[in-house]
Structure 1
Amino acid sequence: MSTVSVDETVPEPPAFPGRRWLMPSAVIHEFAPDTGRPGRRPRRTARDWIVDFSCFLLAVLVGIAGADALTDNPHVSHDLAVVDQLLGALACAAVWLRRRWPVGLAVATIPVGLVSDTAGGACLIALFTLAVHRPFRYVAWVGGISVALTPVYFWLRPDPELPYLVAVALFGLLTAAVVGWGMFVRSKRQLMLSLRDRTRRAETEARLRAEQAQRLAREAIAREMHDVLAHRLTLLSVHAGALEFRPDAPGEEIARAAGVIRESAHEALQDLREIIGVLRAGEPDEAGRPQPTLPALDTLVAESREAGMKVTLDNRVTDPAAVPSSVGRTAYRIAQECLTNARKHAPGTEVTVTVTGAPGEGLVVSVRNPAPEGEVPHVPGSGQGLIGLGERAMLAGGRLEHGPEEDGAFRVRAWLPWG
């Protein structure tokens, strides 16, 4: 598409009513305002030079034809013919300014065309340029004035070969054809701009959707890493802290704590390898070890008991295997994170894990631990565990509530859809 300079903003296309029309820089150059400042007005391309030269050549050819017709017109004197040809030459030269001042050139050609036959081609090209580069209101005024002055023109200069009414009608049809052609070109260019804008918007939206998908994937990976590794590393931290605070403990307890530390580190390494495998494969359900679901809750509780925790499991679900895998996995992660938090913030207390529910009613996971007795050693944490559990429950279509009770105990309760 050629580069065209105009001094008015292109009207908003009908495809985006009420919205701001954002155009890329290449499209802005097409209809960019021409301020006349150095470096601001876009340069003519090779195609622009060809089009401008063609318009100039067409105006000159029409002017030559008009000059030949003047010699056969008895109503035009020699002096008037000289003036006519001089004005026609100036009008043809002004065609080169049509891109920079389309409105001014079209207005200036109205009186020139009224007194000069040889300027007829330049007048039509100026009107066509106005129709291409300006809204219809400009074309309506200038074209209307030209059509209104047509009877006056042929009354002052009757055509020797055509009747008066026929000449007026033909010139009116020619003017309408030129205006219609120019408006068609303008509409086509605006359509191209609209399509470019739509393509740009579609590309932008696709990029934003891809970025959002990547962000959600990163959040899911971070959540999974937190849930999987926090449980193991907390065991390691708690027992390492016990060895630090009780260096005089019996040898059996020290050996037992060291064994738990070694086993927790080994399990954490295995879980880390599993997560890396998931990242490499891209499909969590098909890479690494099988994801834990509700039946694996017994194993989780057994591991916690072996680590020295007091855990009571009350699973009232008749058939845990019947729980959908996504719901069961979410319930497992919630219980896992709650046991990890209880181990860090309420060591030595008895934790109660209750699971109830049925198809159509939903699955309820409740984890409660009483307030700890005495001072609790500080165990560093990210503080994002409960936030991540809330996000997990929300993504599964459920909800999660947590907070202290009147007796100081802390409870986490999650409801997940089932059936």
Structure 2
Amino acid sequence: MQEERSGVARRHVMDALVVCASAALSVTVGVAASRGLQVYPRLSSPPTLTWGGVIPLPLADLTRSALVPLAGSALLLRRRRAAVPVTVVLLVAATVAPLIPAALIALFTVAATRPDRTTWTLAGLALVPLPLYLVAQPSLTVQALTTVVTGAVLVAASMGWGFFVRGMHRAAEQARDEAAWRTEQVRQREREALAREMHDVLAHRLSLLSVHAGALEVNQNATRTEVAEAAGVIRSSAHQAMEDLQQVLGVLRTPLQPDAATGVEPPQPTLAELPLLIEQSRKTGMHITLDAPADLGAVPGTSQRTAYRIVQESLTNAHKHAPGQSVRIRLRGAPGEGLTLDVTNPLPPPAERTGPRLPGGGSGLKGLSERTALIGGRLTHGSQGATHRVEAHLPWPA
């Protein structure tokens, strides 16, 4: 609100300065015309005020030289809202009074803010007095030609400057639109990244929760210790899922990334956290074998995060589609050769695929394929006989 008031005040001050400058220029043009130097054709002179038609008023010269330019220039206060009428009035008045500076300012406003057709129409109106002035001269003189040429140049300069300003405004608007479009693209990419994170994290948490709840439902003879352990895992998984969801929703409520101003990314999982991820799945009864070297800390961060998400998604799919089957995870690689990740698990026989299946949208591995391709790797997945395999090759520069 304060900025709006400040903008209005600045606009009023600018309008007052424009009126004063126009009046001063108009007075100067009038003085020059009285000495035989005209910059715009005057087709006639304004009538002289008299008292009773006999005695000239002492203020007549003051009216012609000062009050008329000031009154004409005062019309410029309305040039923004009524640019065309103000320009027409000033152009007509400029043929009998020294108001061409005010008329040129009004014509500039039209060129800067109105369509081209309107601008060219008013420019034609401004140029009409030029040939009429030549025709009205008893003989063609250098002074008459100079007046016509000067008037044409002033009209062209006023239009050209207006067109230039309009182009600058359009370029600024286009730049703002492009900036808004780029910002929206950034937001869209962030939403897509958050959607992938939500799928990767929440799907895994909820699959663990569902597996434990299903085990409690099926195993009616579970001991109190087993029930307490499963309930603890369910509570922990639900709590972690809620925390992950709140974090994602908190980011979605902000226009940009939370740490975009500082350029710092939120904490992301790495291969060092892979044992913890595997241990959570083992608690559900899944048998998992991890075959990985100990010197994976030199793998680039983007490849580490992608590898972690691939393993996480593979374990989630194993929970959904191959419960009770063993999973083998194998990591190999070296600087300059890349990081190879291989996750395999047997598929249960069709006769054993009974009971309710966990829902899945089928977009997890597809999104990971896109993510892997973005960092310069590749990912393949699918069934090979009775085995499901997920294989990825990720960059590991020398």
Q: How does 1:332-411 map to 2 (within 5 A)?
A: 332-373=308-349, 374-377=352-355, 378-405=357-384, 407-411=385-389
C-alpha change, 1:196 and 1:101, in structure 2 (3 Å) is closer
Unaligned 5+ segments in structure 2 are 1-14, 35-41, 49-74, 76-82, 112-117, 252-256
Alignment check: 8 A CA contact 1:359 1:418 kept = yes
**1:232/1:149 Cα in 2 relative to 1: closer, same or farther (>3 Å)?**
closer
Counterpart residue number, 1:8: none
The separation in 2 between residues aligned to 1:102 and 1:324, in whole angstroms, is 67
Aligned CA-pair RMSD: 4.8
Please name the residue that 2:59 is paired with: none
Q: Report the count of equivalent residues.
A: 320
| 1:290-309 correspondence to structure 2 within 5 Å | 291-309=268-286
- Residue 314 of structure 1 corresponds to 291
After superposition, the C-alpha distances for 1:234-285 in whole angstroms (9 at most, x for unaligned) are 11202222333453xx334x75365234224314413543664684793499
2:396 partner letter: W
Do the aligned partners of residues 397 and 258 (structure 1) sit closer, same or farther apart at CA in structure 2, a change above 3 Å counting? farther
Helix, strand or coil for the counterpart of 1:320? coil
Q: Which residue of 1 aligns with 2:303?
A: 327
Task: Say whether residues 1:210 and 2:183 are aligned partners.
Answer: yes
| Displacement after TM superposition at 1:339 (Å) | 0.6
Q: Name the counterpart of 1:183.
A: 156
1:199 and 1:228 mapped to 2: Cα distance?
43
CA contact (8 A) 2:199 2:364 kept: yes
Q: Which amino acid aligns with 1:262?
A: G
CA contact (8 A) 2:202 2:245 kept: no
Change (3 A) 1:66 1:270: closer
TM-score under structure 2 length normalisation? 0.63
Retained in 1: the 8 A contact 2:338–2:394? yes
Asked whether the equivalents of residues 271 and 308 of structure 2 are also in contact (C-alpha less than 8 Å), the reply is yes
Equivalent residues in 2 for 1:60-99, closer than 5 Å: 62=42, 65=45, 99=84
Percent identity over the alignment is: 36
- Residue 329 of structure 1: how far off its partner (Å): 1.8
Q: Quick one: distance in 2 between partners of 1:67 and 1:141? A: 23
- Superposed displacement of residue 222, structure 1: 3.1
Which residue identity lines up with residue 339 of structure 2 in the other structure?
L
1:123 and 1:347 map into 2 onto residues whose CA distance is 94
Q: TM-score, normalised by structure 1?
A: 0.60
Residue of structure 1 equivalent to 2:239: 269
Residue 174 of structure 2 aligns to a residue whose secondary structure is helix
Q: Any idea what SS the aligned residue of 2:182 has?
A: helix
SS at match of 2:382: strand
What is the rounded CA distance, in whole Å, between the counterparts of 1:292 and 1:130 in structure 2? 64
**Alignment partner, residue 72 of structure 2:** none
The 2-side partners of 1:237 and 1:307 are apart by: 10
Per the alignment, residue 251 of structure 1 pairs with: 222
CA shift, 1:136, in A, is 8.0
Q: SS state of the match for residue 403, structure 1?
A: strand
Opposite residue 152 of structure 2, the aligned amino acid is V
Q: Which residue of 2 aligns with 1:219?
A: 192
Say whether residues 1:172 and 2:151 are aligned partners.
no
Aligned to 1:197: 170
CA contact (8 A) 2:212 2:233 kept: no
Structure 1: stretches of 5+ with no match in the other structure: 1-44, 69-95, 110-118, 158-163
- Cα distance, 1:46 vs structure 2: 11
Distance 2:122 2:243 in 1: 72
- Partner letter of residue 357 of structure 1? G
What amino acid sits opposite 1:393 in the alignment?
T
User: Partner of 2:336: helix, strand, or coil?
Assistant: coil
Change (3 A) 1:268 1:293: farther
Aligned to 1:12: none
Which amino acid is the alignment partner of residue 251 of structure 1? A
- 1:408-419 paired onto structure 2 within 5 Å: 408-419=386-397
Change (3 A) 1:356 1:257: farther
Is the 2:95–2:129 Cα contact (8 Å) retained in structure 1? no
Could you say if the C-alpha distance between residues 49 and 287 of structure 1 is closer, same or farther in structure 2, counting changes exceeding 3 Å? Answer: closer
* 1:177 positional shift: 0.9
Residues 66, 277 of structure 1: alpha-carbon distance in 2 compared, 3 angstrom cutoff? closer
Shift of 1:363: 1.6
